[in-house]
Amino acid sequence: MSTTATSLIAFAFIFGGALLGMLLRAILPEPHLSADSKDVVRLGSGLIATLAALVLGLLIASAKSAYDTQSAQIKQMTAQIILLDRFLDHYGPEAETQRKLLRSAVASLAGRIWQGNGSTPVTTAPFVATTTAEEFFDKLLELSPRNEAQRSYQARAMQVSNDLAQTRLLLFAQADNSIPIPFLAVLVFWLAIIFASLSLFARPNATVSAALFIFAVSASGSIFLILELSRPFDGLIAISSTPLRHALAPL
């Protein structure tokens, strides 16, 4: 389910809680709306509001941290690819085939990470290296240095290639960081209770209804933000693939 659809469902439940509170106010006898009842409900909703605020804050911080980590890994991969190409360039004309394969491997790598600019990376299947990447690594091993300089550039290229593969595996391992549905359902339930308590003791009018609507949009907007940050390769806040795709100039 998309983040927009999930956020709209959350908004429906949260604002539905406010409408439920208005309905209960209209049908409950007056003794149930006494000052004592109001104090009990306010204390209970205050406790739930504190829990919901803490959970929302932790979720936003966690999602932002994961987003920044994966964004940094993409930047690191981009830098490693440029450095790898520089080493091969300094190696000499003998590494021209390897440089061409590197450009093909970068395009394939970006396509796998962003899944054709469309969806979240698939992590249900085991990681399998692409044929182009395997061929590039084999060709890198086939280089036959003729002097100490070429031997040094080959060793450095091998090291950067290994570091690049490790960064890619870390990115693959961290791809599935979505929020569990039961966790999200409990959070939405808490927010619905809070909104029901807000409208239970307030006489309904245009100002109250508009305020509750805006508050519900804001609460569901925080959930939308969390869901978007937890999917860094898809959606409105997706990490751009342009730097990685255009890291290497055409030969």
What's the confidence (pLDDT) of residue 124? 52
H/E run at residue 112: helix 96-118
What's the confidence (pLDDT) of residue 70? 92
What's the confidence (pLDDT) of residue 232? 87
What's the confidence (pLDDT) of residue 119? 46
What's the confidence (pLDDT) of residue 177? 64
What's the confidence (pLDDT) of residue 68? 93
What's the confidence (pLDDT) of residue 116? 44
Q: Smallest Cα–Cα separation from 167: which of 238, 76, 66?
A: 76
Instruction: Tell me which residues of the chain have a pLDDT lower than 70.
Output: 116-126, 176-177
The CA-based dihedral angle spanning residues 189, 184, 237, 15, taken in that order and rounded to the nearest 10 degrees:
-10
What's the confidence (pLDDT) of residue 123? 47
